[in-house]
Amino acid sequence: MSSEVSCANCPLRRHAAFRPNEAAEIAFIERFKSRQRSVSAGASILREGERSDRLYTILSGWAFRHRSLGDGRRQILNFLLPGDFVGLQQELDHDAMHGIEALSDVTLCVFPRQRLWHLYQEFPSLAYDLTWLCAHEELIVDENLLSVGRRSAIERIGMLLIHLYKRAASVGIGGGDAIPLPIGQQHIADALGLSLVHTNKTLRRLHTLGLVELRGGTLRIGDLARLQRLADYHALPLHARPLI
Amino acid sequence: MSSEVSCANCPLRRHAAFRPNEAAEIAFIERFKSRQRSVSAGASILREGERSDRLYTILSGWAFRHRSLGDGRRQILNFLLPGDFVGLQQELDHDAMHGIEALSDVTLCVFPRQRLWHLYQEFPSLAYDLTWLCAHEELIVDENLLSVGRRSAIERIGMLLIHLYKRAASVGIGGGDAIPLPIGQQHIADALGLSLVHTNKTLRRLHTLGLVELRGGTLRIGDLARLQRLADYHALPLHARPLI
DNA sequence: CGTACTATTGAATCGGGTCAACGTCTGTGG
DNA sequence: CCACAGACGTTGACCCGATTCAATAGTACG
């Protein structure tokens, strides 16, 4: 299906979000990369509790990281877009604490973990980028934790959709007021610590207000400014707020 | 109050949790470190939204990282113990997205961010450690997000106390079944996305069950195994669970 | 002792969860 | 072309875990 792409003309490098790499760096990455892997929508990239000595970069498609409890309750930790790096979170010689699942068909670049140390020795600039990527992902998890812990259902959903919309735009996915977003309501519920039913009702409410439309794998933002105000509407206790 | 300590005999290195460093590394750290800073209990180490070009290591004491909303709702992201590293999360030339506050009197080692790049060039081993530290902190935030999103109040509190108890033990704080834990119920509430009142009632319940006692800045675990079972008690829907 | 936190407790209320049906859309195969 | 299955979205009724409000204890300290 998808042919191997050389790192030199990696499609990700076309976007402003990425640092331009030097030729030597690119050559190293090319050697570091062991292969490419395709995963189809809905399939598991890494099973929770499984040991893995691989690191991944998302080359194309959507995925998410999650953890779950024994009885099935599941929490999505963050969503993964092209350019995201995964695998550092788990300790070497240790089971992964999280699972990773593909939302759409996904293409991954695979790197063997063993050679990571080599990267640190030879290319401090890449090591630096890696740390930055890791720190940045934590920032995203932080934001999600703030939402789940302290925001109301409508605020949470608003924030999440805005977040995904902006992230997608930053890597050149979608255009105008809409992006392709291959997630179902259950995913939103699991990401935000809500029940499926309540997620549906809240989403419906946002739709009625003309703020968002999520259908057929497409997210359309009706009024970004108003949605942003709603999602960040935290100046009053819940019961005292006018009905937007 | 606390006198400057040379990195060579850093008290943290006494504990098994830390990698033994080579002489050259230690010498570098010593040069990297710009100074030491003392912060008293309750004071702010880094204000939310403030710009800072410093990195910190907790040398002694307890602190926490948090984010909050405009109306005062606050979410504690994670607690910081001796050996924890902070500052990577915020992007260079950017306001900090989180605040850091001292729970007890805290001593910090201060490093100027500018020289970080130098560390990556000269000591890949330290760079590697740094990435590991960052990844590890994300793991902790992940765990907390799972709790807040998907666990019941009693499970959350149980998990948090167990977590703090174990972490404290791993850096040699406290002994036996008790550790000093300089946090109030409001902190627990803010860390777990609960209200103060409900936190109190749940804590009271745990106390009545003889599982924990949190008073006067000391946490005592009555029955770790039973507490662990309670906190991880996720095989049945809430209403079907026997009353422990 | 008074001031100021922090912990405790009860009552009323509510946001969100659970249960249970019912649509809607797709793909599959007869 | 219809019948059926399975996945996903929608809705209403009811319930409960958790929040909010309000007031009362401790406790620490100047």
From first to last of its 244 residues, chain A has per-residue pLDDT tens of 446 778 888 888 887 778 888 899 999 999 999 899 999 999 999 998 888 999 999 999 999 999 999 888 999 999 999 999 998 877 767 888 999 999 999 999 999 998 999 999 999 999 999 999 999 999 999 999 999 999 999 999 999 999 999 999 999 998 889 999 999 999 999 999 999 999 999 999 999 999 999 999 999 999 999 999 998 865 444 444 444 3
CB contact under 8 A, B131 and A136: no
Q: Which residues of B touch A192 (CB under 8 A)?
A: 149
Task: Identify the H or E element spanning B127.
Answer: helix B124-150
Q: At what angle do helices A124-150 and B124-150 cross, to 10 degrees?
A: 20
Supply the pLDDT for residue A234: 54
Q: Which of residues 114-153 of B touch strand D (CB under 7 A)?
A: 152-153
User: What local confidence, expressed as pLDDT, does residue A50 receive?
Assistant: 87
So what's the pLDDT on residue B120? Answer: 95
Identity of the residue in B73, B89, B234 whose CB atom sits nearest the CB atom of A73: B234
User: What is the pTM for the complete model shown?
Assistant: 0.94
Q: A199 — contact with chain B (CB < 8 Å)?
A: no
Rounded-to-integer distance, Cα B109 and Cα B35, Å: 6
CA atoms of B75 and B240, how far apart (whole Å): 31
Tell me the nearest-neighbour CA distance from B128 into chain A, angstroms: 7
Contact between chains at B192 and A130 (C-beta distance less than 8 A): no
B100 CB neighbour count, 10 Å cutoff: 26
CATH architecture of A7-126: Sandwich (2.60)
For residue range B73-94, list pLDDT tens digits in order. 999 999 999 999 998 877 767 8
Please give the pLDDT value at position B236: 43
Facing B73 at nearest CB: one of A74, A89, A234: A234
Substitution target from A46, A66, A75 for chain B, most B beta carbons within 10 A:
A75
Q: Which two tokens stand for residue B228?
A: 């662990």
Do the chains contact at B98 and A138, CB–CB below 8 Å? no
What pLDDT tens digit does each residue of chain B (244 aa) get? 446 778 888 888 888 778 888 899 999 999 999 899 999 999 999 998 888 999 999 999 999 999 999 888 999 999 999 999 998 877 767 888 899 999 999 999 999 998 999 999 999 999 999 999 999 999 999 999 999 999 999 999 999 999 999 999 999 998 889 999 999 999 999 999 999 999 999 999 999 999 999 999 999 999 999 999 998 865 444 444 444 3
What confidence score (pLDDT) does residue A166 get? 95
Class for the domain spanning B151-240 = mainly alpha
Does A7-126 match A151-240 in CATH topology?
no
Is B7-144 a CATH 1.10.10.10 domain? no
> Which of B80, B122, B146 has the most A C-beta neighbours within 10 Å, making it the best mutation to test the interface with A?
B146
Q: Is the Cβ pair A120, B127 closer than 8 Å?
A: yes
Give the other-Cβ count within 10 Å of B204's Cβ.
11
Distance CA B151, CA B194 (A): 11
Rg from Cα positions in chain A:
19
Cβ pair B59, B5 in contact under 8 A: yes
The residue of chain A with its CA nearest to that of B121 is: A124
* Chain A residues with beta carbon closer than 8 angstroms to that of B236: 71
CA separation for the pair B159, B143 (Å, rounded): 9
Question: Does A77 contact B at CB distance below 8 Å?
Answer: yes
- Give the residue from B195, B200, B187 showing the smallest Cα distance to B66: B187
Say which DSSP state A236 is in.
S
Nucleotide nearest to A194 (CA to C1'): C16
Where are the domains positioned within chain A?
Answer: 7-126, 151-240
